[in-house]
Amino acid sequence: MKTIYHAAESRGHANHGWLNSYHTFSFANYYNPERIHFGTLRVLNDDTVDGNMGFGKHPHSNMEIISIPLEGDLKHADSMGNQGIISEGEIQVMSAGTGIMHSEMNANAGKPVKFLQIWVFPNQENVTPRYEQKRIDEAIKTNDFQQILSPNPDDEGVWIHQDAWFNMANFTAGNQKEYRLHKEGNGVYIFVIKGKAKVGDQVLNQRDGLGISETDHFTLEALEDSQILLMEVPMALPE
């Protein structure tokens, strides 16, 4: 088993006043040649946006873009005609494909919105753009892995154009569970949203990340009550 550990404080950081953003991988003005991507996982941004502020209309193409609100509400609008609010307990995905324009704003004036924005390289380019949003918190079980994303439109959670599986885990202190990878050649990037956990001898604190590859299974143990996101992705980039 091969692992790569990213401490929370080692992430790139940009504070624009209205936006406080931490970058696990190189993004915008943060560049680290050792941290461009983990397999097909290209971006993992941990963002806090002030009230009534946000990202105005901007373009994307050929990327699978996932947003997971942690606190508050995001207001989404795009060139496909989708408009709506994404709240804590939901997940949103866009397949940018041939190209889209979209905006994401804090839906509230009086409180910040905190969310994860994740980009995954697709396994096929120039697909028809698509948008999907689902509630996930009602399905999440304590001390188990709950799938929130997969390659299969008929499976649990949202789907993307990639052989990727995301799971959310809400573990109470002292519990552990084995995770078995879905596909040979995949790896898993673990991100501790809150709490404290351990894989093997590696302790993971809040907002730490751990990339795991060259194995078909591992055991995740919660040292405190924890919320943990597991992102299984192909390690080989699309040709």
pLDDT in tens, 11-37: 999 999 999 999 999 999 999 999 999
Q: Are 65 and 119 in contact (CB under 8 A)?
A: yes
Of 171, 179, 174, which Cα lies nearest the Cα of 210? 179
Angle at Cα 98 formed by Cα 96 and Cα 103, nearest 5°?
40
Q: Are 74 and 115 in contact (CB under 8 A)?
A: yes
Separation CA 161–CA 64 (nearest Å) = 7
Binding residues for Fe cation: 58, 60, 102, 104
pLDDT at residue 238, rounded to an integer:
84
Question: Could you tell me the pLDDT band of residue 141, with boundaries at 50, 70 and 90?
Answer: confident
The predicted model gives 113-123 an average pLDDT of 98
Residue 22 structure tokens: 């931490």
Separation CA 178–CA 187 (nearest Å) = 15
Separation CA 91–CA 149 (nearest Å) = 9
Separation CA 153–CA 28 (nearest Å) = 32
Q: DSSP string covering 96-128, please?
A: -TT-EEEEEEES-SSS-EEEEEEEE--SSSSPP
Separation CA 38–CA 48 (nearest Å) = 23
pLDDT at residue 138, rounded to an integer:
84
List of domains in the chain = 11-124 (2.60.120.10), 145-234 (2.60.120.10)
pLDDT in tens, 48-83: 999 999 999 999 999 999 999 999 999 999 999 999
Element (H, E) at 176: strand 176-180
At residue 10, what are phi and psi to the nearest 5 degrees?
A: -90, -5
pLDDT at residue 140, rounded to an integer:
85
The pTM assigned to this predicted structure is 0.97
The predicted model gives 128-152 an average pLDDT of 94
The predicted model gives 124-143 an average pLDDT of 93
Residue 187 structure tokens: 């790896």
Binding residues: 58, 60, 102, 104
